[in-house]
Chain A
Amino acid sequence: MTPMTTPSARSPRAEFLGGARDQLPLLLGVIPFGLIFGALAIEAGVPPLGANGLSLFVFAGSAQFVSLNLVETGAPALVMILTIFIVNLRHALYSASLAPHVRHLPARWRLLLAYLLTDEAFAVAQARYRRPPLETAHWYALGTGLALWTSWQLSTLAGVFFGARVPASWSLDFALPLTFLALLLPALVDRPAWVAALGGAALAILLHGLPYNLGLVVAAMTAVGIALATEGRQESLAANSSAAKEKT
């Protein structure tokens, strides 16, 4: 690689504002999502403080929507915690991906950025980490994370109060499966991922009789296992065919 002239690092303020600015297109989608969440939380019988508490403490869209479903069906707290954990396992991947870039930061910075590590923040921040200089890039990650955080808190708050006036005939609850569907499609990148999705769907319907929505947890974990086995079988088939080619 030819050495290039190193551009000087940008100021923390410029990085912070740049991160917030680059989050703006995503906010167009996230703010209505927060409004729907606030509205559906009230519809599900969650008190206003509880809806805002979920956004403030859990701060994870999909998991919050799933929680509403569990609150409605009267699931025990442990099932809700376990489900939130499973729905949010994907964040560990984001954490692994960005870890090399934050490892040098003080613990308080790493913990703050971890709290703000949503799908949207990861999507924008990882693009920034491809463009050196990176000395002040953590301010960019903070800016993009806080832009999303602020929008999510305020839109939840607005949705909580607006939601009381949304008629039931609008079938707002249907936005839940539609949103999960829209979030599911980009994850279907190969055959094992399809196996995970279709396996999870089929098993969840089959295991629906299990108490406290435990069917969802068991179905998801089993589907992950089947997807892993499919992937392993694909890899060994590929290895066999390439070995066979070498012999001929």
Chain B
Amino acid sequence: MTIHVDIDRDLCIGSGTCVRLAPGVFALDEEEISVVVDPDAADISKLRLAAEACPTEAIRIGAPPGDARG
């Protein structure tokens, strides 16, 4: 099951918190904005942690398509 993880590029300031908290999932691109590299690289609890700890609330975690939760 692939979790849908989305980063709002207009919110991200490149703090790198997500890269640290969910290793393998996120990376900073050449603009130092976070991108999702592999949403399955860490378990959902780490993804949620990254989303909560993000200083700009730029990360959204959604269930797979077909689920209304976001």
A pairs with B: no
A residues engaging B (CB < 8 A)? none
B residues engaging A (CB < 8 A)? none
